[in-house]
């Protein structure tokens, strides 16, 4: 069994590569290292079942050859992270739409099963709790750059479902909620690595907005377990599935928890969204997944606690000096 992982040198992709290799599968990882890094996968490069290809998924010739030699595809390559989305919109839109279009077209050419990573962002400003897969999208105005990421991922979902409906391509769409763990970088706006880094450096922990917005965080090893189970489940084909944790915490409480758990001297500093991003930035107050579908389909429930997530992120940063 040989799996192509696009974005395989990224945060989730590197963990998934490791999991698949441990299960005895062969992995080809294609990544342009735009937000991912070689360090994430350097420990795998001696494994004879692992191949890293430093390339963009826009290179159709290379991707075509790799897909023709693989059994399945996990498509994770994307331009990700709120800060990147706010500052580099053209890249985000081009990567997420053109990249997914390319990979779906080639997957269809060789009739290969493909799992596509989508996001909880597609629920937009819908204030329902929890979100289930058939809930409406509620996007803000296009003048607000924040929504472009969600719209690109929604288009990816439409396109994947269309390939399934029109050409019977086996596709699985996974809407990931906040996924966290070692190797994730705070550089592009991911909140837990950013807070842990600030705590370890005894800097102010910068909470954006009023801090009352809540999020649910799922450990990356739990997420990889769900992705692996879904990839091998015939029942998941043609489905959209939420994957994440439904344990909710406010961002202010998260900052306090990280200060306590890291025994940091940091203080909390509140920063308005306007200052952190740009005027008109909109955020969602809550984002809780309904995870009954993934449980029903593949009997998945996340097992790692928020304390374990914080511990693992801190431990990784201290061991590698990457903070
Ligand atoms: N981490 C989360 O909380 C989260 C939540 C929702 C959805 N997702 C989705 O999961 C996927 C993986 O996210 P992640 O958190 O690991 O982010 P990441 O930034 O670490 O991974 C994305 C990877 O894609 C690579 N990439 C980008 N453009 C590319 C291109 N043109 N060609 C080849 N490689 C390219 C990057 O270098 C990076 O390694 C993404 O599709 C993202 O939208 C993640």
Q: Quick: pLDDT tens for 170-213.
A: 999 999 999 999 999 877 668 999 999 999 999 999 999 999 99
Catalytic site positions: 149
8 alpha carbon to ligand 1 midpoint, in Å?
8
301 alpha carbon to ligand 1 midpoint, in Å?
23
What backbone phi and psi angles, to 5 degrees, belong to 205?
Answer: -85, 115
Q: Ligand 1 pocket: which of 55, 63, 77 to mutate (most atoms <8 Å of CB)?
A: 77
| Pocket, ligand 1, Cβ cutoff 6 A | 6-7, 9-13, 30-36, 56-58, 76-80, 95, 99, 117, 119, 176, 178-179
3-state SS record for the chain: CEEEEECCCCHHHHHHHHHHHHCCCEEEEEECCCCCCHHHCHHHCCCCCEEEEECCCCCHHHHHHHHHHCCEEEECCCCCCHHHHHHCHHHHHHHHHHHHHHHHHHHHHHCCEEEEEEEHHHHECCCCCCECCCCCCECCCCCCCHHHHHHHHHHHHHHHHHHHHHHCCCEEEEEECCEECCCCCHHHCCHHHHHHHHHHCCCCEEEECCCCCEEECEEHHHHHHHHHHHHCCHHHCCCEEEECCCCEEEHHHHHHHHHHHCCCCCCEEEECHHHHCCCCCCCCCCCCECCHHHHHHHCCCCCCCHHHHHHHHHHHHHHHCCC
Grade residue 93 by pLDDT with cuts at 50, 70 and 90.
Answer: very high
Grade residue 245 by pLDDT with cuts at 50, 70 and 90.
Answer: very high
Closest CA to 208 of 140, 303, 275: 275
80 alpha carbon to ligand 1 midpoint, in Å?
6
Grade residue 106 by pLDDT with cuts at 50, 70 and 90.
Answer: very high
Which structural domains are found in the chain, ordered by start? 2-180+218-244+287-303 (3.40.50.720)
- In percent, the amount of the chain with pLDDT more than 70 equals 98
Q: Ligand 1 pocket: which of 11, 80, 157, 182 to mutate (most atoms <8 Å of CB)?
A: 80
Residue nearest to atom 18 of ligand 1 (CA): 10
180 alpha carbon to ligand 1 midpoint, in Å?
13
78 alpha carbon to ligand 1 midpoint, in Å?
4
Grade residue 108 by pLDDT with cuts at 50, 70 and 90.
Answer: very high
Say whether pLDDT at 276 is over 90. no
- Higher pLDDT: 146 or 13? It is 13
The atom of ligand 1 lying closest to the CA of 117 is: 41
What pLDDT sits at residue 282?
76
- Could you read off the pLDDT of 26-48 as tens digits, one per residue? 999 999 999 999 999 999 999 99
Burial of 200 (0-12, 13-18, 19+ CB in 10 A): middle
Say whether pLDDT at 281 is over 90. no
Say whether pLDDT at 277 is over 90. no
- In percent, the amount of the chain with pLDDT more than 90 equals 89
d(CA 66, CA 6): 11
28: β partners: 4, 51
Query: How many CA atoms does the CB half-sphere of 221 hold within 13 Å?
Result: 11
Say whether pLDDT at 236 is over 80. yes
The atom of ligand 1 lying closest to the CA of 56 is: 32
Q: Ligand 1 pocket: which of 30, 31, 78 to mutate (most atoms <8 Å of CB)?
A: 78
Residue that the structure tokens 């705590």 belong to: 199
Backbone torsion region of residue 31, taken as left when φ is above 0, otherwise alpha when ψ lies between -120 and 50, otherwise beta? beta
């Amino acid at each position: 069994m040989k799996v192509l992982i696009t974005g395989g040198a990224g945060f989730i992709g590197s963990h998934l590569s490791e999991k698949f290799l441990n299960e005895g599968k062969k992995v080809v990882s294609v990544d342009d290292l735009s937000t991912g890094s070689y360090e994430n996968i350097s420990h795998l490069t001696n494994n004879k079942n692992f191949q890293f290809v430093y390339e963009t998924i826009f290179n159709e010739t290379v991707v075509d050859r790799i897909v023709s030699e693989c059994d399945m595809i996990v498509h994770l390559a994307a331009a990700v992270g709120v800060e990147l989305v706010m500052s580099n919109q053209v890249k985000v839109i081009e990567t997420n739409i053109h990249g997914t279009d390319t990979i779906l077209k080639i997957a269809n050419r060789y009739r290969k099963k493909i799992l596509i990573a989508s996001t909880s962002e597609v629920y937009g400003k819908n204030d329902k709790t929890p979100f289930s897969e058939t809930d409406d999208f509620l996007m803000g105005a296009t003048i607000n750059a924040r929504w472009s990421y969600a719209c690109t991922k929604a288009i990816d979902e439409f396109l994947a479902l269309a390939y399934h409906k029109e050409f019977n391509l086996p596709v699985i769409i996974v809407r990931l909620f906040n996924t966290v763990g070692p190797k994730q970088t705070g550089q592009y706006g991911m909140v837990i690595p950013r807070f842990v880094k600030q705590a370890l450096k005894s800097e102010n922990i910068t909470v954006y907005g009023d801090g009352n917005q809540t999020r649910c965080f799922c450990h990356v090893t739990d997420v990889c377990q769900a992705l692996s189970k879904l990839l091998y489940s015939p029942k998941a084909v043609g489905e959209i599935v939420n994957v994440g944790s439904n344990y909710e915490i406010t961002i202010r409480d998260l900052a306090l928890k990280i200060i306590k758990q890291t025994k940091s001297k940091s203080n909390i500093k509140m920063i308005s969204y306007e200052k952190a991003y740009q005027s008109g930035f909109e955020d969602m107050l809550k984002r809780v997944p309904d995870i009954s579908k993934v449980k029903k389909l593949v009997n998945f429930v996340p097992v790692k606690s928020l304390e374990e997530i914080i511990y693992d992120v801190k431990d990784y940063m201290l061991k590698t000096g990457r903070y």
